[in-house]
Structures are given as C-alpha cells and as structure tokens.
Structure 1
Amino acid sequence: MSSMPFLNGYSLEITSGDVHRLQAARKAIASGTPVSITFLPGDEVDNLARTAGAVRRLGYVPIPHISARRITSHRELFRFLSDLKDEAAVERVFVIAGDPPRPLGPYGDALAIINTGLLADFGIRHVGIAGYPTGHPQISSTALTGAMTDKLGAIARSGQTAEIVTQFSFDSEDVLSWLLQIRRLGVNATVRIGIPGPASVKSLIRFAARCGVESSANVFAKYGISIRRLLSTATPDLLVNNLARQLDPVLHGAVKAHLYPFGGVEKLSEWIAAFSASNSVHV
C-alpha cells in the first residue's frame, strides 16, 4: 500500500534560523506547503514576524507559533499579530502554552490567547493547537482532554477552523489509540501527526527527553532502530508506512503528517524526495 496519501499535504516545522535551509530545499518541498515556525526560548516576536514574511516569499504558507507564556503583555500580542498581518499576510497560527514555568506576561495558556478575540480581529482564520498521543509528563490525560475540548470550543465560537498538531511519536499504536479516543469524544478537527524526520539516534533521544516523549528501548524497537547505534541515522519510513496502512478515515477522521526536521531541513527534504520516489513501499 502506498504511504503517500498520508503524506500528501504534509506540513513541516522550522526555527527562525532555518530560512536559508528552507530556501536551499525548495526543489524537494512543494510550493504551498504549510511551514510552522516554532517560538524558541530567547526568540523575539519581531524576528518571528520577519521569518514568517521570508517563508511567505519563498512560496510557502507560514504558521507562526504563539507561545502564550512568552508573550510579555497585551501590547506585545497586539503588535505581534499586527506585524504578522503586515509582513506575511498570516491567516494561520499555532497557539501553545509554551514551556516557561511562569508566564512572562498575562497569558498562562493557549486558551487565554484564543479568548482575547485578537486572532480573528487580525484576520486569523485557522488556529492550530497541540495534541499529545503519548501524554504529557506534567499534565494528566484528563486535563489534556479537557483543555483540548475547551480550546476547540472557543475557536469554533470565534468562527475559525481548528487543527490539532501533535508532539512527535515513535509508536504508531499509541497514535492510533489516541485518535480513536478523541474521535469518540466528538473531536472532528483535522489532526496532524508529528513525525520525526531523519536524524541520528542520539539526536532523537535528546529531542525526546526535551519534549517529554517516551523513548524506551522497546519504543525505539517498534520504530525500527536500536539505541546501541547512537550515531546511525534513523528514518521514519516504518512509522509512516504503519500509520498509512492502518489509518481509516471512518474511525480516525482526517489525518495528515507534520514533519519535525530534527536532523536538519536538508536531510528532511532529501528523505521526502527519496520516499516520494519509492512510495509503493509495503509493510
């Protein structure tokens, strides 16, 4: 079975420092691809707005992250959204609480940003929120589900469409089980499943630890790699093919891929090109 339907319309994530790498990879990454721009510690909203403009000029759809706890004031949020509109005609954002233990300003979580009403005021039509198929190390599954439904409800009341973008995962079984769970709760938004791009095993372990993603030897074995080979490059072929083979639109709803270039945008673009050329891989 071909895995390309699952990858069709994929999105990918970059940092503000990756624009030149994105430009170098233009031959492999189709025009119009949604490009998420993460809000890293130490980054500034002005820089994110400039990055969004650069992504737009390259022919992609910029989706800047709004990290609620990193926004220092209502004025800064207003200026950020204004700059995103002026610099890049942004109509899509991804809103997340962010990782500072204490908010730097008045917004403690993503819902607080959504409830300001400013997103719609500045022309944002589509709002992405986070999903956690393998859970969150500091938040219970019940609280995560409640927060998701609260945010989806607020987005719908604002007349916007929503999308759920998940943390990356190594285990297709966890992803499929979580999808069934949220669909049974009546969540019908499109879900983008986080897929780790090709990277060394050592890098994947490091990112997993940083993001609170389970990365035991057993989980890695399901992903098709051995933690004894830290310097080897691991690719997501097995995970992508397993998901493509088992996803059922009736049961799992609308599902697409969101690619995290942990090994760099260049490696990710090379993998996309190679995988696309051999999209009849069977599992």
Structure 2
Amino acid sequence: MTASKAHACSEDEACRQFLGQYSIEIIPRDTRAAEMARRVLSPGTEIYLASISGEPQETVIARALELRTSGFVPVPHVVARRYESPNQLETTLARLQEAGVDRALLLGGDVARVVGPFPSSRAVLETGLFARYGFERLGFATYPQPHPHIPTDVLDDELGQKVSLTVRQGMTPWVVSQFCFEPDAIAAHIRRLRARGIADDVRVGLAGPATLKSVMRLAHMCGVTNSAQALRSLGQKFGRLVVGYEPQELIDRLLHDMETKAELRSLRGHFFGFGGLEQTATWIREYRCKGRRRRCAATAFP
C-alpha cells in the first residue's frame, strides 16, 4: 500500500470514529422531532433533550418516550439548580425510568439563583438517585475555553470527582464539551482531560450549520463569546459567514488531528442543532459523502 493510501485509510477511520456515531441536541418542545429523526438519523442515535427554562418536565418526558419508541436513545439534560427538593428530583428520575431512559447529561446550570438544595451537579450525583433509578450512563459538561464565572482548575477538579463517583456508583461516565470554534483550544483541552485520567468517552461539542446571527447569539448566551469573536476575525471568510456558518473547516482540522495525534483518536462529535435537527443531520451526511469523494480523488493515482 502506498503512503497516500495508508493516509487515506487513517482519515477514513478518523471520520468513522468522529461522525459514525455522533450525537445531536434538540429542544424538547419540538413536536416533530421523532418524525424528523426517523427520516434523517440512524436508529440508535443519541438525541439530547436540552433543558429550557420554564419547559415543563412533562414535555421532556413525553419527547423522550417518543424518541425511544422510534428507535433512538434519548439523553435528557438534568439541571441541578432547577430542582426545588430531592422529592422533585426523584419524581423526575422515576418518570424517566418509566419512559425507558437509562442515561442523562447532568449539569449544574448557569442560573443566578439556586432554587433548592442542589448548588451543583455533584450535589445531585451524591444523592445516589441515578443509580437507584436504573441509570447506566451519566454525562458531564466540560469547557474547552475558560468558563465566564468558574476557574478552570475548579471545573477540572469537580469533573474528575464526578467521573470517579459515577464509576463507584456502578455507572459509566462520559463528558461532552461546550461548543467551540477554535481547534487549538479543543485539542489543548482534550490533552488536559487525558492528563487527568479522563480518557474513555469524550464528545466534542460543535455548532451545527446555522445563520451566523443565530450562532453568535447562542454563543453569547452560552458564554463562549471569545471563541465566537474568532468567527469575525476570519478576514475574507467573513463574507461567507454572513450567509451562514458551517463547521466543515473545524471538522477537517479535528479529523487531521485525530490522524496524527494519538491522544485525540477516540473523539466523537456532538452537534448543537441550532439550525434544526434535519438541517444538521443532512449537512453531516453530505460532509461525509464529500469527504469520501475527496479521499478517493486524492488516492486515485499512486
């Protein structure tokens, strides 16, 4: 096999790893989510149900049940600071168990006021309720760029403790990053996680295709303003971004890093579907097809 063909094989492997089993995030109140998912997603895809302030738990549970019945894996967000009591949390987990949910993304919640006894996601985890109600997997958030309010070393220490506690409770942890537009920041963050022993299941958060206005607005809301400003400094590329943002160049770079850097080879993609589930899934499918064509063209001659 020539060197170019060996390189192409490695690139294919990186793409299959990163995009072969990607996950995607939706808003629970989207009543057409299950129908749309059946059209554009592979069975077994993990679909995260974002936590929206004021969204009734009944909506989240109903959507989770619809998705599971349709052959997908629902992953609801559970936000610690929004629970007024342990009983309210227990009721939610019991109902999710009844809906067949066995995993969740456990978040502290960037809200100014703590309404109950859970100031952090670790406080919820320490109750042992997830294990009691049959949850098998728990995800936690991580941040490639500095959090607007919490020091990085504090977040890293907390994450390490939560991962260890999850394993001790008999569940499998994973981590998913906030979306970011800077590949160097993502790579440096992954290395930091690996150095702390968080090496198994790491998902890289990516903004899916959307209008630049939508991406910028949500970046400000999610505290990734510095990264979003990088979009504005792309010089001649900015004209394209006025029409819409696509993550092609970022994914190209990540796949290259996965080929060449051993510590980055087991990453998977997680997409924030700012432009909608169908648009995001269709774009990913087209990206993978274009990538195959590019690789075939690159290896057509020895």
Query: Please, what TM-score do these two structures have when normalized by structure 2?
Result: 0.87
Superposed CA deviations along residues 130-183 of structure 1, whole A, max 9, x for unmatched, are: 010112111111111111111111111111110001100111111001111111
C-alpha contact (below 8 Å) 1:201/1:229 kept by paired residues = no
Superposed CA deviations along residues 240-282 of structure 1, whole A, max 9, x for unmatched, are: 1110111257323631000111111121122122123223347
C-alpha contact (below 8 Å) 1:28/1:272 kept by paired residues = no
Matches within 5 A, 1:67-86: 67-86=79-98
CA distance in 2 between partners of 1:253 and 1:79 (Å): 39
Which one is further off, 190-199 or 178-187?
178-187
C-alpha contact (below 8 Å) 1:46/1:83 kept by paired residues = no
Instruction: Quote the offset at 1:43 in angstroms.
Output: 1.1
Aligned partner of 1:38: which letter?
A
| Residue in 2 that maps onto 1:245 | 256
Which one is further off, 42-51 or 92-101?
42-51
Matches within 5 A, 1:26-175: 26-87=38-99, 89-175=100-186
Structure 2 segments unaligned to the other structure (5+ residues): 1-10
CA distance in 1 between partners of 2:195 and 2:234 (Å): 26
Report the secondary structure of 2:227's partner residue: coil
Report the secondary structure of 2:61's partner residue: helix
| Residue in 2 that maps onto 1:182 | 193
Instruction: Quote the offset at 1:221 in angstroms.
Output: 4.8
| Residue in 1 that maps onto 2:246 | 235
Aligned partner of 2:187: which letter?
L
Aligned partner of 1:116: which letter?
T
Please state if 1:13 is matched with 2:25: yes
Superposed CA deviations along residues 25-50 of structure 1, whole A, max 9, x for unmatched, are: 42321110001111110012222111
Matches within 5 A, 1:207-246: 207-213=218-224, 214-221=226-233, 225-226=237-238, 231-246=242-257
Matches within 5 A, 1:191-206: 191-206=202-217
CA distance in 2 between partners of 1:25 and 1:46 (Å): 20
CA distance in 1 between partners of 2:185 and 2:206 (Å): 13
Instruction: Quote the offset at 1:230 in angstroms.
Output: 6.1
Please state if 1:266 is matched with 2:273: no
Instruction: Quote the offset at 1:185 in angstroms.
Output: 1.8
Superposed CA deviations along residues 47-81 of structure 1, whole A, max 9, x for unmatched, are: 21111111111210011110000111111111101
CA distance in 2 between partners of 1:260 and 1:183 (Å): 24
Superposed CA deviations along residues 97-132 of structure 1, whole A, max 9, x for unmatched, are: 112212111111100111100100100010000010
Instruction: Quote the offset at 1:82 in angstroms.
Output: 0.7
Structure 1 segments unaligned to the other structure (5+ residues): none
% identical aligned pairs: 30
CA distance in 2 between partners of 1:121 and 1:54 (Å): 24
Which one is further off, 268-277 or 68-77?
268-277
CA distance in 2 between partners of 1:253 and 1:154 (Å): 26
Aligned partner of 1:24: which letter?
M
CA distance in 2 between partners of 1:186 and 1:224 (Å): 40
Task: Count residues with an aligned counterpart.
Answer: 281
CA RMSD of aligned residues (A): 2.1
Q: Whose helix proportion is higher, 1 or 2? A: 2
Which one is further off, 210-219 or 259-268?
210-219
Query: Please, what TM-score do these two structures have when normalized by structure 1?
Result: 0.92
Report the secondary structure of 2:90's partner residue: helix
Superposed CA deviations along residues 172-215 of structure 1, whole A, max 9, x for unmatched, are: 11100111111112222311000110001111110110001123
CA distance in 2 between partners of 1:94 and 1:16 (Å): 14
